[in-house]
Amino acid sequence: MKLRHALFLATLAALLAACNFTLAQDVTPPPGYVPPTAAPTLGPLYPASAPDVSNGAAIYVEKCAACHGNTGLGDGEQGKQLPVKVAAIGLPDFAKTAKPSDWFIQVTNGNLDRFMPPFASLNDQERWDVVAYALTLHTTPEQLELGKNLFDANCSGDCINQFKNAEMMSALSEQDIVEMIKNGQGNLSPDITDDEATAVAMYIRSQTFASALPTPTTAPASETPISAEAGTPSAETTPVEGTQAAVTTEAAPAAGFGTVRGTVDNQTGAELPADVKVTLSGFEHSADTTTAPQEIVTLDGSLNPDGSFSFQNVEIPENRIYLAKVVVNGLSYQSDFAVVKAGMTELVLSPIVVFATTEDISALKIESLQMFFDFASEDVAQIFAVYSITNTGTKTVIVNMGDTQTVPFIGFPAGAEKLGYEASQDSAPFVPTDNGFAMPPSATPYGLIAFASVPKSKEIVISQPALLPIDGLTLFLPEGVEATGDALTDGGIQTIQTTNFHIYTAGGVEKDKSFEFTLKGEPKITAVNPDVTQNKSLLIGVGAFGLVLILAGVWMFMRDRKSADELDEEDESEDEFDDTESIMDAIIALDDLHRSGKLSDEAYQQRRAELKNALKKKS
């Protein structure tokens, strides 16, 4: 793996607290040293309880869709910017060989070679939930229906029970299940076609989940409801998707409808404005898993004097996702996502917490600073400074970046060229403002990466200022590069995702003081890195802090499209399939998806060109 890849993803791993960097056993940690959070452990490679696909859908929208795309075709807007192709996990030719346990390992540990971070913010069950949902992206309702009919007609008793073993099913791909069926397991006819066996395998997999994907229940706009006496909503009680007043006087919900309620937790210390509006948004995946999740309900209401809000006669089909938000003093605050469960007539959202504001950044605390250095460029050493920040106060801190677009609490080394900033994947969400961003109090730390470069020389003197108190520093240097400094403790060489780093640590530093150290030596592994100074336009600017990016390395494009990395990508594309027949099957499946309208022209043309190129090289 190239050093460039290792550095970027090591940065991500540190930011996500996903790597447990420990000191060598014979080194005593300095006073005040706080070790990073341990990596998530894999544990058993099967879920403790049946995965919840509806919860997995919500997680996928938040964590995965920006890169993998809403339908898993690798066409997410952020994924398009990466110097590698994002896996098209929603394509049948890709998904059929996927084992749930393998995908669980990748979600847990990340895939450094493909710029996928580990998701330490998710617990084991949540990771199984999102894996389960990802495994449904290539299935269709028609296939599941066919599989159910064949399975019900032929399989009973021991046949059914053999597919209920969670450990076994987690280790089986769809293709493995097809082969079991074709070999007689499942009491199906040996003459069953490949398509029928695949449909049965899809259905068997779906039965290992705690919930299925939602079925659309929204009535056509032209449909006129029958009378309320018949148990369905009348014209007077049917909600209109668009606007609705939040109410306090509640009526019994009509069939298929219910109440969505919540509260605003006012922590401002003052009365909220009288005109605070509440916006309720509902999202849903259709039964066709190849279509994108869409916001299908937007209701505007008012906040009640006691801080509560309640939307009545809202359609609440199983698995619909709702959240509410308010805007107070120009800042947007929202509840967590909530998913409708079967049989619900009332959905209670988590409180929307609203804070007073301040521009005093002294409430912010830098828990850790982790610095990565890349020496691959001939002229400069590139620095990736990863900050973990908490708001220890009770107010939302407003950060004004000013005309210089500078974060006032992030300092760059003396003599360094400032290149920009970026939010981390697992950061608490920054709230965009007109000229910067805001940081409400949060139990989740804020993650921020500052990019810089310094002139390269035999000895590089680094003076890293602390504009706020910093609890501890960790240096990650390529093997072969050493650091010297009075405050540094040598942690030795440590292997992170197959790449060796020389680790140094230091204790805290007071505000307006500096870390001082000197770097010397040559890395044992070098790679041709792009010149980041050519890509400043890709860095994050004002307003973008509201988007928690999936990858911290998005900004780094390959300057030379004929670079070695591009050649690596072509090789990986060639190795994706074993033979020409597999590629032809993939092209046929792709054509079917496009003809059925489940694949955009752009994604279709791009993927088909890749497959044709792979076919030529295999021929």
Per domain, the residue ranges of the chain are 141-206, 235-355, 361-546, 577-618
pLDDT of residue 595: 64
CATH fold, domain 235-355, is Immunoglobulin-like (2.60.40)
CB 539 within 8 A of CB 419: yes
Q: Is the dihedral of CA 219, 224, 227, 233 positive or negative?
A: positive
- Type of residue numbered 385: A
Could you give the CA distance from residue 596 to residue 51 in angstroms, rounded to a whole number?
Answer: 29
Residue 178: other Cβ atoms inside 10 A: 22
CB 317 within 8 A of CB 287: no
Could you give the CA distance from residue 21 to residue 368 in angstroms, rounded to a whole number?
Answer: 13
- Look up the pTM and report it: 0.51
Residue 415: other Cβ atoms inside 10 A: 12
Question: For the domain 361-546, what is the CATH code?
Answer: 2.60.40
Question: What is the β-pairing status of strands 436-439 and 431-433?
Answer: antiparallel
347-395 pLDDT, tens digit each: 999 999 999 999 999 999 999 999 988 887 788 888 989 899 999 999 9
Question: Burial of 51 by CB count in 10 Å (0-12 exposed, 13-18 middle, 19+ buried)?
Answer: buried
In whole angstroms, how far apart are CA 399 and each of 223, 368, 532, 538?
50, 20, 26, 21
Look-up: residue for tokens 């599941």? 144
Whether 361-546 and 235-355 are alike in CATH topology: the answer is yes
Question: What is the β-pairing status of strands 308-315 and 459-465?
Answer: unpaired
Greatest Cα pair distance, the chain, in angstroms, is 86
DSSP state of 362: G
Could you give the CA distance from residue 468 to residue 439 in angstroms, rounded to a whole number?
Answer: 15
pLDDT of residue 241: 39
Could you give the CA distance from residue 288 to residue 294 in angstroms, rounded to a whole number?
Answer: 12
Give the residues of the chain that fall short of pLDDT 50. Answer: 1-40, 213-251, 288-292, 527-574
3-state secondary structure 5-60: HHHHHHHHHHHCCCCCCCCCCCCCCCCCCCCCCCCCCCCCCCCCCCCEHHHHHHHH
Could you give the CA distance from residue 550 to residue 553 in angstroms, rounded to a whole number?
Answer: 9
Q: Where are the alpha helices (DSSP H) in 140-298?
A: 141-154, 158-161, 166-170, 174-182, 194-206
Could you give the CA distance from residue 581 to residue 590 in angstroms, rounded to a whole number?
Answer: 14
pLDDT of residue 265: 95
Could you give the CA distance from residue 483 to residue 503 in angstroms, rounded to a whole number?
Answer: 9
**SS3 at position 206:** helix
List Cβ neighbours of 120 (8 Å cut-off, separation of 6 or more). 16, 17, 18, 37, 39, 40, 426
Could you give the CA distance from residue 532 to residue 471 in angstroms, rounded to a whole number?
Answer: 29
Could you give the CA distance from residue 505 to residue 488 in angstroms, rounded to a whole number?
Answer: 6
Q: Two tokens at 333?
A: 């605050």
pLDDT of residue 519: 95
Q: Is the dihedral of CA 406, 409, 410, 415 positive or negative?
A: positive
Strands laid side by side in the 459-465 sheet? 459-465, 514-521, 481-484
